[in-house]
Amino acid sequence: MSAAPLTCLPIRVRRLGRVEYRDAWQSMIDFTAARVPQTPDELWLCEHPPVYTLGRAGKPEHRLFDNGIEMIRADRGGQITYHGPGQAVIYLLIDLNRRGLGVRDFVSRIEQAMIDLLGEYGIHAGRRQGAPGVYLNTENGPEKIASLGLRIRHGCSYHGLSLNVDMDLTPFTAINPCGYEGLKVTRIADHADPCPTWSEAAERLAAHLQCELMAEQTV
């Protein structure tokens, strides 16, 4: 009997609930450092208390004013973003080498999972060239509904994505989201009636990610 394709290896889902950002970040670092070739890949579903995070090369000046919310410089890529209750955060602990994934393909599959999920709720979303994440095209211009920031170490990823489900968007007004001045953000609750619960959106998005990351690559 021939071995199953590496892309068919199962991906575990862990449900962390609401967790402090620093705690989740340290757990990701520890998990990645302890990986061995047999370590299963995992998706971590969680939400965070209010916090801003700034990527490794992020510019602090993209925080426009201090509203009392802590800002943490993390080791992911990208600029500044906001996390808070009602936002679905999924961290992707994936061995890209084992699955034969390049970084560009990996990012594309993550974005596609989010686009497909939003389509289930009647929300037409897409990508923007050179600007990772997922956007809605509105009469007032693009609005960002999901962000993406990753770190790859020794071919293994951590950090991940955030999808605005039903959250207070006010803290985004204190930053240039993802480093883009004037970029508007939106959420599922503004476009879907009824809006899915946080847990429904997170679980369905995890299922889409599993499908995308376990699919065979096409030429």
The residue annotated as part of the active site, out of 156, 178, 195, 211, is: 178
Helices (H) and strands (E) in the chain, counts: 4, 11
Residues flagged as binding site for substrate:
76-83, 147-149, 160-162
Residues flagged as binding site:
76-83, 147-149, 160-162
**Residue 149's Cα: distance from chain center in Å?**
7
DSSP H helical ranges for the chain = 21-33, 96-99, 103-120, 198-213
Q: Please confirm, yes or no, whether 178 is among the known catalytic residues.
A: yes
User: Which tokens go with 73?
Assistant: 């410089």
For 27-56, give one letter per residue: b (16+ CB within 10 A) or e.
bbeebbeebeeeeebbbbbbbbebbbbbbe
CA–CA separation, 145 and 114 (whole Å): 10
CA–CA separation, 4 and 148 (whole Å): 30
Which amino acid, 45?
L
Please list the active-site residues: 178
